[in-house]
Structures are given as structure tokens and as C-alpha cells.
């Protein structure tokens, strides 16, 4: 049978429009979840001894677990660290130490460019406002909390009773232990604990490498692999008497590094995951929370890239800002992308359906918990329009143009001027009004940035409120982006300081009743923000009670066979060296110094693949075959930065500093086929300290576990 062109085209269209979608739907119906979709971030409250024995033939003893727990530290800057010698030497990432540079830097120094090394103990520099915590004590308080919650008759009573019991328990254990005690919730409220931390406030800088080698590849290589980063820094912890702390528990350093097929552990404090959330909550995050965050970060990040080309004299300034937000931009971009993946949602639905089926099969569980998922779904539907309005009405100075902020100041001024002077805010009393009015609109405003940001902000408002919204029409009309911003600035008195200053001389009522688009928008949304925020809190408070019930269900079904979501508490994550598919090939499990120089010369030594002098001209004795960075299946997330990576002998084989791009969606689901942790190899750290930096004192301390006298 011979087909003509029309028949062929018709058949193709039929396949695309009808057959392909049906095949895709059937394929999604067959998607199956795995028990470890919730990850492998194990708590020390519920160590997975049976699982580790079965999976790796390794059974950690109570002594091993205690030693590992007490060797790890939590930093007050959102990172992890660990003791690596008996004399308080502490290891973390370089990117966790960035904020401390200027605080210890002396006049004429540039630690970002040159790095730092203290040849003697006396030259170690105290870092202001840095502290670390060691998890010394923990106890289960689930029964006490649940009894307090159950004693409440209404949602409000349940919430208040829980808050009061938490305060009571923290106070009790603070007194009993003398530690800094904190309340911790696991499994969405399925289990509760009190954690007692020993806090150290005297932390001193010992060694940090130059920024170009610590973050080689900069923002462009962030969340990628292969990597070539010496992302490490060493501090020392001192006691109250100003002496190096006696750290009985610490991780010894391995000169052999990680071996093929051996189990390794990351020990750290992962920040937040949302793996136990319901599908309705994930879909809400997809449609509102991460849609908004991804939009703002993507647009601002790309905007600064365009401005670099348009204004080359300001390129360094714009690039610095892009670097600051680059990590967040990738996180939000890839999380939103992941949440829009039908496969991921189908896998989460299957996980949820399995739980629902087990609840339904048990009359007792079904009677108490059967409606949790539908109730949460209803609440999220109520929350969507509320949060969309709040997103549009609120504005962050970090992302928004200054015009909305100036409008807010003008409205505040007019409202104050309507009051008798003795009833006004103090800053409006006994002042020169001409001077005050003149200060409301800045003498100089970055027109390039503010006008560009305004384009993004107007489209963001439209995205959240819709084309037919009255505020959207007032601000934008039927225009978008640059055209909308240009039209708005022409219509508004806020387009220039001269016009704004004249406007401020008007009667307060005339100002407040002005038809100026900025004034109208801010004035009419100002009072709504409080009401909307109150409504959002009520919805979330109600949902929190349901989440506690969901947590109880999860714990009832799975117990401690799965780990709870991360919440910046100490976790142990198991893994092995393993490649993953990328760019049409497979990634090597470890990079070497050879690869560093290939990248350096291959990019013509240009930023961000430039090197500091001592690395650009390395000593001949440097072994270029030394493993530099490696990948493994360990489950980590933000907060794990600085986590020691150890073998079953509790020896450091690496230092976690990043994940690959596939790990970003790990906020919601752990997919071991391509989610990888990226670490600095212990051999690279030792080789660099010894051969490149000649930091013999620290090199020997890591090798022996004791401070060199």
C-alpha cells in the first residue's frame, strides 16, 4: 500500500496528539517508588545498624557511633565541621570560612587572593562571632509532647499546649545537663527529641587556601563534576582558658583515601529536606513557592549577565553579584524543573498511595488518619491565592527596584503628616520638614539597575495576580517587561527626584489619594498584607496539626526503617564510589591534579579557571596523579558543607563540599541512579599542605592526630 503525503502527515499527527500521550500516561502509571526515596540521612537517635549490616556487612558498635557523633561539630554559619586531631584542630570547607576572612585580615593583607597559614600556635587568629556546637546529649520526649497536644480540644489549644511543653522541657534539660538544649522534631512530628549541645566560642583560623584554588571554576562549575577544588579550611577550637581544647574524639586522617566498593559515611548537619511532604504540598511548591523563587533568581541572574555586556566598565560589579546568587539560582531553577517532571511526581504519588493503602487496610488507622491527605490538599488550595497575593504585594530590596520602597516612604510621610506632631513617629517630630522630604528620594539612584529590576518585578506581579487584576492593569496596562516599565516611569512622579520632591510638597490627603501607579499600588496593598499573612498563618497552623498526625502514621508504618527529613541536626549518610551518566558518557569517580591543569591550560588560564601563583607554578615534587575530588552516592544537602567523609575505621577519606546538578532535587526525593556527593580527597589535602604550602605543622598534626610541639 502506497501512502500519500497527506496520509503520512495525518498519521504522525494522530500519533503525537493521541497515541503518544496515552503511552506516556500508561508509562507513568507503572512508575514505582522505593523505600529510600526518603533518602539515607540517618539520625544518631535511630542508627540503621541492621540496614548497614545487611547492606555492607558492617555493624557499627555503640562506641563507634558515639565516637563519630562526638567528633562532628555544627557551625553557627549553617555549615558542618569536625575535630581532626586530639588538640582541637577543626576541618570544614573554605566556602564556609569566607565570611571570616575580613574579620581576621590585617592591614595590607588579602586572604582571598593569598590564603592564610599560621606557622605557629601563637599566630592562629581568633575569628569574631564564630562558634561551634558538639552534640553531647539527646533524649526522646515524644510521649510528653504528644500528651500535651492530645490534651487540647481545639487546634489553637493543641498548638499552644505543644509550645508550652517545649519551653518546659528545654528549661528542664538545660538545668539538668548544663548544656544548650534544643527541641527537635522528626518524621513530621512522629518523634520528638531534646538535643544538648556543648558550645565553643573561641575558634581560630589556622589555614585556608587561596580562593581561586578553593573554588576553581567558580559559579560556572558549581554543582558540576568533574571538579578540581581544594575546598578546605582548618581552624582550631580553644577552651575557656584560651588553650587548645582537648578533643578526645576526632577523625584520624587517611593517607590512602577512599577505596573502590568500600562503604563511606558523610557526617554532618543537612539543612532542610521536604521528602515526607504530601503530593499536594509538593504540587503547591511547584506552582507557587519554587515557581516564584526560580523566576526571580533566573531573571535577576540573567539580567546581570546582560548588563555585564551592555556596561563593560561595571562588568566586575555585576559578575560579583551574579556569583553571590549563583548557588541559589541553580538550586531554585533545578528544583522547579524537577517538580515539573511527571516521572518525579508519579514516583511521589506511588509512595503516598502505598501509605494510604496501608492506612485504609487498617480500620483503626483509617478511622483516625484516613482523611489527612484530602484535608491537606484542601488547605493548600486555600493557601494558593493567599500566597500568590502576598508574593505580589511584598517586595524584597534585594530583588525589587527602589521605586516601590520610595512609594512606601512617601505614603508613610503623608500618613504621619495627618497626625498632630506629638502623635507622630519620633523621626517626624522636631525636624526640618524640607530636609526630611528631600531625604525620601535618594540624591542618586542606580537607574540602570532599578529600571531593569522594575521590568522583572512587574512581570512577577502579573504572574502572581493574573492579567485581569486591577493592580496589574494599573501598573502595566497590557504591556510586559521593558515596555511596561518604561510606560510606568513616564506616568509616575517617581521617575525622577525633581518630580518626586515637588509631589511631596502637596497636601497629605492629595498624596494619599493620588492616582500615581506606584502610590496607588503600595497604599492599597499595604493594609491587605497583614490580613493575608494572618490568613496564611491560620492555614499553616491547621496544617501543622495534620502534619503531626501524618508523621505518626509514617512512623507507625515504617518505624526507623526510613530516616526523617533533614532539619540541620547531625546525620550519618552511607554511600560508595559510583559513576553516573552525563554528557553522553560516564563520569570518572575521581579527578586528579592532572585534570586541574588540563582545565587551567584548556581555558587559556582565564577566569574562573585561573590559578594563584603557587599553583600556576607548582613545585616539581607535587604528584599530579594524586586523587583530587571524588563522587559517591552519599545523601547530602545544604548544611552538609564541611562534612567529614569517613571510612568504617572512622578515618577521614574526604571532605564533602558539593553535589552534582542531579542532587539538587534531593530536597524532595533521593534518586541514587544519578544523585552524587562531591568531596575533596584526603590525599589531595595532605599533598597540598605538604608540597604546595609547606604547612608542615598542620600536615604532621593530621598524619599523627596530635599537635606538633
pLDDT digit string (tens) for 384-398?
Answer: 999 999 999 998 877
Cell numbers at residue 428, please?
517626624
Residue 400 or residue 613, greater confidence: 613
Mean pLDDT on 254-272? 96
CATH of domain 49-131+201-269+568-704: 2.40.10.120
Residue 2 pLDDT more than 60?
no
pLDDT digit string (tens) for 140-170?
Answer: 999 999 999 999 998 889 989 999 999 999 9
pLDDT band of residue 19 (cuts 50, 70, 90) is low
* DSSP state for residue 422 in the 8-state scheme: G
Task: Give residue 32's pLDDT.
Answer: 94
pLDDT band of residue 655 (cuts 50, 70, 90) is very high
Rg of the chain over CA atoms, in angstroms?
A: 29
Task: Give residue 188's pLDDT.
Answer: 86
Residue 488 pLDDT more than 80?
yes
pLDDT digit string (tens) for 442-475?
Answer: 988 899 999 999 999 999 999 999 999 999 999 9
- As a whole number of angstroms, the distance between CA 652 and CA 690 comes to 17
Residue 556 or residue 173, greater confidence: 173
Residue 327 pLDDT more than 60?
yes
On the CB side of 330, CA atoms within 13 Å amount to 19
SS3 state at 122: helix
Mean pLDDT on 272-290? 96
pLDDT band of residue 210 (cuts 50, 70, 90) is very high
Prior bond of 95 cis (ω within 30°): no
Task: Give residue 531's pLDDT.
Answer: 97
Task: Give residue 630's pLDDT.
Answer: 98
On the CB side of 558, CA atoms within 13 Å amount to 27
Who's near 336: CB < 8 A, 6+ residues apart?
Answer: 286, 290, 291, 293, 294
pLDDT digit string (tens) for 531-562?
Answer: 999 999 999 999 998 998 998 899 889 998 99
Mean pLDDT on 354-378? 96
- As a whole number of angstroms, the distance between CA 329 and CA 301 comes to 7
pLDDT band of residue 81 (cuts 50, 70, 90) is very high
Residue 22 pLDDT more than 60?
no
Mean pLDDT on 42-63? 97
**Beta strand pairing status for 80-83 and 180-186?**
unpaired
Q: What are the backbone angles phi and psi of residue 658, rounded to the nearest 5°?
A: -165, 175
The domain limits of the chain are: 49-131+201-269+568-704, 279-370, 395-530
Task: Give residue 18's pLDDT.
Answer: 61
Task: Give residue 596's pLDDT.
Answer: 98
> 652 with 319: CB under 8 angstroms?
no
- As a whole number of angstroms, the distance between CA 479 and CA 475 comes to 9
Q: Which residues of 403-412 are buried (b: 16+ CB within 10 A; e: fewer)?
A: bbbbbbebbb
SS3 state at 273: coil
pLDDT band of residue 432 (cuts 50, 70, 90) is confident
Who's near 407: CB < 8 A, 6+ residues apart?
Answer: 494, 516, 518, 519, 521, 522
Task: Give residue 303's pLDDT.
Answer: 93
Residue 26 pLDDT more than 80?
no
* DSSP-derived secondary structure for 18-53: IIHHHHHHHHHHT----GGGG---EESSS--HHHHH
Task: Give residue 14's pLDDT.
Answer: 58
pLDDT digit string (tens) for 660-675?
Answer: 999 999 999 999 999 9
Residue 25 pLDDT more than 70?
no
- As a whole number of angstroms, the distance between CA 453 and CA 398 comes to 10
**Burial (Cβ within 10 Å: 0-12, 13-18, ≥19) of residue 142:** middle
Residue 281 or residue 429, greater confidence: 281
- As a whole number of angstroms, the distance between CA 227 and CA 595 comes to 9
Report the predicted TM-score, pTM, of the whole model to 2 decimal places.
0.91
Task: Give residue 400's pLDDT.
Answer: 87
For the chain, give the mean pLDDT: 94
Task: Give residue 661's pLDDT.
Answer: 96
Task: Give residue 12's pLDDT.
Answer: 63
Cell numbers at residue 438, please?
528631600
- As a whole number of angstroms, the distance between CA 349 and CA 369 comes to 18
> 138 with 44: CB under 8 angstroms?
yes
pLDDT digit string (tens) for 584-634?
Answer: 999 999 999 999 999 999 999 999 999 999 999 999 999 999 999 999 999
pLDDT digit string (tens) for 678-689?
Answer: 999 999 999 999
Task: Give residue 182's pLDDT.
Answer: 98
pLDDT band of residue 8 (cuts 50, 70, 90) is low
Amino acid at each position: 500500500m502506497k501512502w500519500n503525503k497527506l496520509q503520512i502527515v495525518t498519521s504522525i499527527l494522530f500519533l503525537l496528539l493521541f497515541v503518544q500521550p496515552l503511552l506516556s500516561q500508561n508509562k507513568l502509571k507503572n512508575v514505582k517508588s522505593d523505600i529510600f526515596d526518603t533518602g539515607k540521612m540517618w539520625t544518631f537517635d535511630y542508627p540503621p545498624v541492621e540496614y548497614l549490616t545487611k547492606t555492607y556487612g558492617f555493624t557499627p558498635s555503640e562506641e563507634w557511633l558515639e565516637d563519630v557523633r562526638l567528633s562532628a561539630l555544627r557551625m553557627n554559619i549553617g555549615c558542618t565541621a569536625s575535630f581532626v586531631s586530639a588538640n582541637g584542630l577543626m576541618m570544614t570547607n573554605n566556602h564556609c570560612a569566607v565570611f571570616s576572612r575580613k574579620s581576621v585580615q590585617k592591614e595590607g593583607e588579602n586572604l582571598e587572593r593569598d590564603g592564610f597559614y599560621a606557622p605557629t600556635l601563637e599566630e592562629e587568629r581568633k575569628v569574631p562571632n564564630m562558634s561551634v556546637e558538639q552534640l553531647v546529649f539527646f533524649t526522646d520526649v515524644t510521649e510528653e509532647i504528644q500528651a500535651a497536644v492530645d490534651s487540647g480540644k481545639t487546634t489553637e489549644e493543641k498548638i499552644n499546649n505543644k509550645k508550652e511543653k517545649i519551653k518546659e522541657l528545654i528549661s528542664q534539660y538545660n538545668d539538668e545537663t548544663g548544656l544548650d538544649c534544643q527541641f527537635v522534631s522528626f518524621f513530621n512530628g512522629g518523634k520528638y527529641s531534646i538535643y544538648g549541645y556543648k558550645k565553643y566560642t573561641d575558634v581560630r583560623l589556622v589555614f585556608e587556601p587561596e580562593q581561586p584554588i578553593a573554588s576553581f571554576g567558580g559559579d560556572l562549575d558549581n554543582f558540576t563534576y568533574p571538579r578540581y577544588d581544594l575546598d578546605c579550611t582548618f581552624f582550631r577550637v580553644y577552651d575557656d582558658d584560651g588553650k587548645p581544647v582537648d578533643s578526645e574524639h576526632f577523625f584520624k586522617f587517611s593517607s590512602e583515601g577512599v577505596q573502590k566498593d568500600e562503604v563511606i559515611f558523610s557526617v554532618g548537619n543537612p539543612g532542610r529536606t521536604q521528602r515526607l511532604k504530601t503530593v499536594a504540598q509538593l504540587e503547591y511548591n511547584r506552582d507557587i513557592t519554587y515557581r516564584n523563587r526560580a523566576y526571580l533568581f533566573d531573571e535577576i541572574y540573567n539580567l546581570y549577565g546582560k548588563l555585564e555586556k551592555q556596561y563593560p566598565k561595571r562588568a566586575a560589579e555585576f559578575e560579583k553579584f551574579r556569583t553571590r546568587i549563583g548557588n541559589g539560582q541553580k538550586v531554585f531553577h533545578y528544583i522547579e524543573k524537577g517538580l515539573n517532571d511527571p516521572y518525579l511526581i508519579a514516583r511521589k504519588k506511588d509512595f503516598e498511595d502505598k501509605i494510604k493503602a496501608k492506612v485504609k487496610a487498617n480500620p483503626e488507622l483509617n478511622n483516625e488518619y484516613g482523611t489527612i491527605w484530602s484535608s491537606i490538599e484542601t488547605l493548600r488550595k486555600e493557601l494558593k491565592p493567599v500566597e500568590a497575593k502576598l508574593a505580589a504585594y511584598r517586595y524584597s530590596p534585594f530583588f525589587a527596584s527602589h521605586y516601590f520602597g520610595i512609594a512606601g516612604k512617601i505614603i508613610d510621610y503623608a500618613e504621619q503628616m495627618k497626625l498632630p506632631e506629638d502623635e507622630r513617629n519620633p523621626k517626624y517630630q522636631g525636624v526640618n520638614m524640607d530636609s526630611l522630604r528631600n531625604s525620601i528620594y535618594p540624591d542618586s539612584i542606580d537607574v540602570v539597575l532599578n529600571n531593569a529590576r522594575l521590568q522583572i518585578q512587574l512581570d512577577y506581579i502579573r504572574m502572581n495576580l493574573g492579567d485581569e487584576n486591577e493592580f496589574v492593569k494599573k501598573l502595566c496596562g497590557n504591556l510586559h517587561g521593558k515596555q511596561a516599565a518604561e510606560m510606568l516611569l513616564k506616568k509616575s512622579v517617581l521617575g525622577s527626584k525633581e518630580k518626586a520632591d515637588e509631589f511631596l510638597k502637596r497636601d497629605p490627603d492629595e498624596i494619599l489619594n493620588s492616582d500615581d501607579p506606584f502610590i496607588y499600588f503600595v497604599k492599597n496593598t499595604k493594609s491587605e498584607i497583614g490580613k493575608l499573612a494572618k490568613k496564611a498563618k491560620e492555614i499553616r497552623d491547621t496544617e501543622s496539626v495534620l502534619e503531626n498526625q501524618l508523621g505518626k502514621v509514617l512512623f507507625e508504618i515504617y518505624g526507623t526503617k526510613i530516616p526523617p527529613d533533614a532539619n540541620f541536626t547531625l546525620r550519618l549518610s552511607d554511600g560508595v564510589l559510583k559513576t553516573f551518566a552525563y554528557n553522553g558518557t560516564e563520569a570518572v569517580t575521581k579527578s586528579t591534579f592532572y585534570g586541574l591543569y588540563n582545565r587551567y591550560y584548556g581555558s587559556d588560564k582565564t577566569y574562573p579557571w585561573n590559578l594563584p601563583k603557587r599553583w600556576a607554578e607548582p613545585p616539581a615534587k607535587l604528584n599530579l596523579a594524586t586523587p583530587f575530588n571524588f563522587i559517591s552516592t552519599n545523601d547530602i544537602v545544604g548544611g552538609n558543607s564541611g562534612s567529614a567523609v569517613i571510612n568504617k575505621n572512622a578515618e577521614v577519606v574526604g571532605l564533602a563540599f558539593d553535589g552534582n546538578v542531579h542532587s539538587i532535587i534531593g530536597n524532595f526525593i533521593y534518586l541514587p541512579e544519578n544523585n552524587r556527593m562531591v568531596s575533596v580527597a584526603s590525599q589531595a589535602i595532605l599533598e597540598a599542605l605538604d608540597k604546595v604550602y609547606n604547612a608542615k605543622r598542620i600536615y604532621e598534626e593530621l598524619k599523627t592526630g596530635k599537635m606538633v610541639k
